Amino acid sequence: RHEAWENVSRTLAHEIKNPLTPIQLSIDRLKDKYSGKLKDEKIEFESYLKTINRQIKTIENLVNEFSDFARMPSPILKKIKIDDVLNRAITFYKMSNEELNLKLHKKINSNFYIKGDAEHLYRVFLNLIKNSIEAIDEKKQKNSNFKGKITLEMNTNNEYIVIEMLDNGIGFKDVINITKPYFTTKKDGTGLGLPIVTKIINEHNGEIKFLKNPNGAEIHIYLPSYTWRTKY
């Protein structure tokens, strides 16, 4: 099913990208030709051009997501510490928002080794944390005093490393269709983020579950433990 969607994405990316360059060139020529000639309407004219430029950027981002989904390289699996990958993603977001209440807890004192691709999994956690931040921001729009919280917990049952993620944002509206390509409940969403996340977890022989929680959104990720894989 993912291969079929990858073909669709590849075609869409190609067809959408083709007209973007001539559109951008036309805008640049319009600006060069008419900005100096207009007086009273110059500000309005340039405002129109900026609006078109913004929409072009939005379409470019969409094309990039299509391309990413279509060209996801196969993971290069190595022995890695998954908590190092998680801490790297957490640090990335805390660098731009020191007040972000985002914490990682280890339920046991263990080395959480897996056989995985650190860059692919880093992308997974960047995407999931970003979604949580956006869900919290959406809740803040209704209540400016609302305090957001994102918690990640790690545990192991020998066979699997278990990562549980919980935020107190708006929660999932539809956990059944959430991993289907191009399905989205966001106004500006492409519906490709979570399918890419799911695909990466599947390629690591793992599983990801999206759960409804009365306090927000809950996600469980199961990744085969390196020690268990090497033992058996």
The DSSP code sequence of 105-142 is EESS----EEEE-HHHHHHHHHHHHHHHHHHHHHHHHH
**pLDDT tens track, the chain, 232 positions:** 656 666 666 666 666 777 777 788 888 888 888 888 887 788 888 888 888 888 787 777 767 666 665 566 678 899 999 999 999 999 888 887 878 899 999 887 777 899 999 988 998 998 899 989 988 988 888 888 888 899 999 998 878 999 999 999 888 888 787 777 655 666 665 566 788 888 889 999 999 999 988 889 999 999 999 875 555 4
Amino acid at 228: W
Backbone angles phi, psi at 13, to 5 degrees: -60, -45
Closest to 176 (Cα-Cα) out of 158, 200, 197, 194: 194
Cα(206)–Cα(197) distance, rounded to whole angstroms?
11
- In sequence order, which ranges of 143-211 are alpha helices (DSSP H)? 193-203
